[in-house]
Amino acid sequence: MLRLRSSDAGFAKAFARLVKDRRESDDNVARDVQTIIENVRLRGDEALAEYTEKFDQHLPADDQWRIAPEVCREAYDALAPDLRAALELAAQRIRAYHQAQLPEDRDYTDDAGVRLGAKWRAVDGAGLYVPGGRAAYPSSLLMNAIPARVAGVERLVVVTPAPKGVVNPLVLAAAHLAGVDEVWRIGGAQAIAALAHGTARIKPVDVITGPGNAWVAEAKRQLYGVVGIDMVAGPSEILVIADGQNDPQWIAADLLSQAEHDPAAQAILITDDAAFADQVADMVGVEIAMLPTARVAKASWDAHGTIIVVDSLDEAPALANALAAEHVEIATADPESLFAQIRHAGSVFLGRMTPEAIGDYVAGPNHVLPTGRRARFSSGLSVLDFMKRTSFISVSEASLGALGPAAIALADAEGLTAHARSIELRLGI
């Protein structure tokens, strides 16, 4: 665990190293993924079978690649009542939040008499990646599928790895609840390639979303342009800004809520209380010892955990903006004053009673968020990731007469004679 103090002489250089620490895929991953994508593009289902047998240690029968809708329904029906109620609550809140994101079409006529506007339409098909290796995440399925449905996507396709042939029944239950159309027992970069290029079994989609490991993220990056993607997501991140009035055990648990995801995950605390920093560091050790995920959480904390002690929390927003973290908690008496200065964050959690974990499940906003400082220029998953905007123009004879000469002048200046002529002919010039 790294310990920094903002007043130390070497802080700026040490903090700059922290900001630049990408913790993401290397050149070897990129090369491996390129090979996988090309094999799937050229050999389709045959390549999928080879990779599934190699990485998931099973080879489905011809009729077992796709999981039947009735199997998903049975998994949903078999849920314990309290768990079913929890999934339904999460789905209801996610749906309500994302329905409010739907954009409005525009259609108006300006002062020159030109009719202008734009129409929003959903993509035809979306592919949703749901991890199934280290852990299974029904919450991620809901966070991806529900915004797609709200956007109006007609075909929802889930791909999820099935180690030794087993798919977590919670994922299947969530697929039923979200109204997913197809669920396939494939994962990894090969699944992303199949969604993008299609195979004899799997029709291609238009957009691919959802979190995954380094190979999944790299496959999405390489295939962007063949399909749309939500983002290239890296390991999880949490930044907690906390004063000394917090319970150190709470803050330690918050930090570990992301550390337990992945050995490459990063948890950072910024506080203005050195004694409190010591207490949190001690409590992290206590909490790790009690976690079933202790091995992963400890590896993450030991390699990437960081505590920064500042003279005043007034320093925190500038540090937070430089880090542009996926999740930012502001656990102070007056979180709004700091929040007003946060410009770069995937999602912000305000107040001592708002742990990041509540956002992962039932708050409503999407938990698929930018990592690796990408919050500087991108946002969390929304209905807009499953939609595209088509502008339209309607020009009358009168308005063409008013605007046409300027367009002709610009076309001539660019040396595009045919552009100019297409207007001149209509104006009788």
Active-site residues: which are they?
326-327
Phi/psi of residue 266, each to 5°? -130, 130
Q: Provide the angle, in degrees to the nearest 10, between the axes of the packed helices 214-223 and 27-43.
A: 60
Pick the closest to residue 234 from 285, 284, 304 (CA basis).
304
Instruction: Please list, in sequence order, all residues whose beta carbon lies within 8 angstroms of the beta carbon of residue 269, skipping any fewer than 6 positions away.
Output: 239, 240, 242, 251, 255, 277, 280, 306, 307, 308
Q: Which residues pair with 207 in a beta bridge?
A: 126, 228
What is the sign, positive or negative, of the torsion defined by CA atoms of 192, 125, 134, 63?
negative
Pick the closest to residue 428 from 411, 409, 404 (CA basis).
404
Token readout for 274 is: 């050195």
Tell me, what DSSP letter sits at residue 224?
B
The 3-state DSSP class for residue 154 equals coil
What is the sign, positive or negative, of the torsion defined by CA atoms of 270, 276, 278, 284?
negative
Q: Label residue 273 left, alpha or beta by phi (over 0 means left) and psi (-120 to 50 means alpha).
A: beta
The 3-state DSSP class for residue 85 equals helix
Host H or E run for residue 300: helix 294-304
Rounded (5°) CA angle 120-205-194: 160
**Count of beta carbons in the 10 Å neighbourhood of residue 346:** 25
